[in-house]
């Protein structure tokens, strides 16, 4: 049976934090809020507890976990041979939504790092998360608190939907701030390499550490035979149960809206408030569920609502979801990364292709 512990995210009640921390100490699992998404945590040094995370999520064993620490002073417990460049960057960027891939300390069991000699490490900018780690007395290994492949959990209700009855404790700490996971960079290379775009943007990163390498494949899912040295690089991720596809441009969305009354099957459109207003004022929408993600002028709003929008798609009568393309600057790169993974890189280039797909989903 899962215990629910409600904790104030602004002024955490220490007694309640300590109650959850004892579960971590005793080898249990705790779902907890961070500034990015909710995490499913266990003692990173306890291989059996880490194994439970993989079992609960149905997570592939070659998908490493992120090790959460409360500050730079704990780096030596999970990493080795950390250079001055990394130490200086961590002192500026932590706590924050940035994960660093470093050489692994041998005390960390292989299961937590998918057998790699590197570890993904971060210090979350969330009081509940930080105090949970401190009172647990150990770094906490934690991926996102959702069933594998499903959209990440940004609200307590999402976690309950996915994990109630499967984990020992779920902390209700309110909504996540950013709504997309941390940015991951490989600090064992020079220049550092972006492995997963996230809440900490490339533009912000380069202000701190200079040039970083952004591979052309950053928004592509790794092939089955490729080694993923960080979470989110491999396998279908973040996806709703219903099929979701990307509209190549606005003409696809407008075409869907114009002909919605003639469609045999209902459709959902996930888009900005600006696009929704345009479609609503110029066309009579029939047979369409509109899911508004936020304003194009505030992509942080879109990011925060993205996974909630994916879950909302599953609550509609639509057979298929069509999502708008967003600018890849700033946090838009992370938004499009999650959309690419959730859609399986399927893009609708012609309206006729959408009609064919709808018939297939019927």
pLDDT in tens, 330-360: 999 999 999 999 999 999 888 777 777 766 7
State whether residue 68 is helix, strand or coil.
Answer: strand
Question: pLDDT tens-digit profile of 93-110?
Answer: 999 999 999 999 999 999
Parts of the chain belonging to CATH 3.90.870.10: 3-209
Nearest of 235, 245, 209, 224 to residue 318 by alpha carbon: 245
Please, what is the Cα angle at 252 between 250 and 256, to 5 degrees?
120
Mean pLDDT of 57-86: 96
Residue 184 reports pLDDT greater than 90: yes
- Cβ atoms within 10 Å of 55's Cβ, excluding its own: 10
Q: How confident is the model at residue 55 (pLDDT cuts 50, 70, 90)?
A: very high
Q: Could you tell me the CA-to-CA distances from 237 to 146, 179, 306, 307 in Å, in that order? A: 11, 15, 13, 11
Which pLDDT score, from 0 to 100, does residue 264 have? Answer: 63
Q: Looking at residue 228, what is its pLDDT?
A: 58
Predicted TM-score (pTM) of this structure: 0.92
pLDDT at 260: 61
3-209 has which CATH code?
3.90.870.10
88 membership: H or E segment, kind and range: helix 84-93
Q: List Cβ neighbours of 271 (8 Å cut-off, separation of 6 or more).
A: 253, 279, 290, 291, 292, 293, 323, 324
Where does the chain hold its CATH 3.40.50.11030 domain(s)?
243-361
What is the model's pLDDT at position 254? 83
Per-residue DSSP letters for 223-289? PTTS--SSTTSBS--S--SSEEEEESSHHHHHHHHHTGGG-SS-EEEEEEHHHHHHHHHHS---SEE
Secondary-structure class of domain 243-361 per CATH: alpha beta
d(CA 274, CA 278): 6
Nearest-5° angle of CA 177, CA 342, CA 31? 45
Q: Who wins on pLDDT, 285 or 310? A: 310
């Amino acid at each position: 049976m899962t215990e629910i512990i409600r904790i104030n995210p602004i002024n955490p009640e220490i007694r309640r934090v300590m109650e959850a921390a004892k579960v971590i100490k005793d080898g249990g699992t705790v779902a907890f809020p961070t500034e990015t998404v909710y995490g499913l945590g266990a003692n990173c040094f306890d291989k059996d507890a880490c194994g439970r995370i993989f079992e609960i999520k149905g997570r592939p064993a070659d998908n490493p976990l992120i090790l959460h620490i409360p500050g730079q002073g704990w780096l030596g417990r999970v990493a080795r041979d950390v250079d001055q460049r990394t130490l200086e960057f961590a002192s500026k960027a932590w706590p924050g939504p940035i994960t660093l891939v470093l050489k692994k300390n041998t005390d960390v069991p292989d299961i937590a790092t998918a057998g790699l000699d590197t570890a993904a490490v971060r210090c979350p900018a969330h009081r509940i998360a930080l105090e949970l780690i401190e009172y647990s007395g150990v770094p906490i290994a934690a991926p996102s608190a959702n069933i594998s492949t499903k959209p990440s959990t940004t609200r307590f209700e999402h976690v309950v939907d996915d994990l109630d009855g499967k984990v020992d404790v779920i902390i209700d700490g309110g909504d996540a701030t950013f709504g997309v996971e941390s940015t991951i960079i490989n600090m064992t290379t020079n220049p550092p390499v972006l492995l997963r775009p996230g809440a900490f943007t490339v533009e912000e990163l380069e202000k701190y550490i200079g040039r970083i390498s952004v591979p052309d494949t950053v928004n592509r899912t790794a092939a089955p035979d490729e080694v993923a040295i960080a979470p989110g690089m491999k396998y279908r991720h973040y996806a709703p149960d219903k099929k979701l596809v990307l509209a190549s441009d606005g003409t696809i969305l407008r075409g869907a809206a114009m002909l919605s009354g003639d469609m045999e099957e209902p459709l959902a459109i996930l888009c900005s408030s600006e696009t929704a207003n345009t479609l609503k004022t110029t066309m009579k929408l029939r047979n369409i569920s509109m899911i508004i993600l936020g304003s194009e002028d505030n992509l942080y709003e879109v990011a925060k609502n993205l996974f909630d929008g994916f879950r909302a798609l599953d609550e509609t009568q639509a057979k298929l979801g069509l999502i708008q393309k967003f600018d890849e600057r700033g946090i838009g790169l992370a938004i499009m990364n999650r959309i690419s993974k959730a859609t399986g890189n399927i893009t609708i280039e012609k309206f006729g292709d959408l009609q064919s797909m709808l018939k297939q989903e019927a």
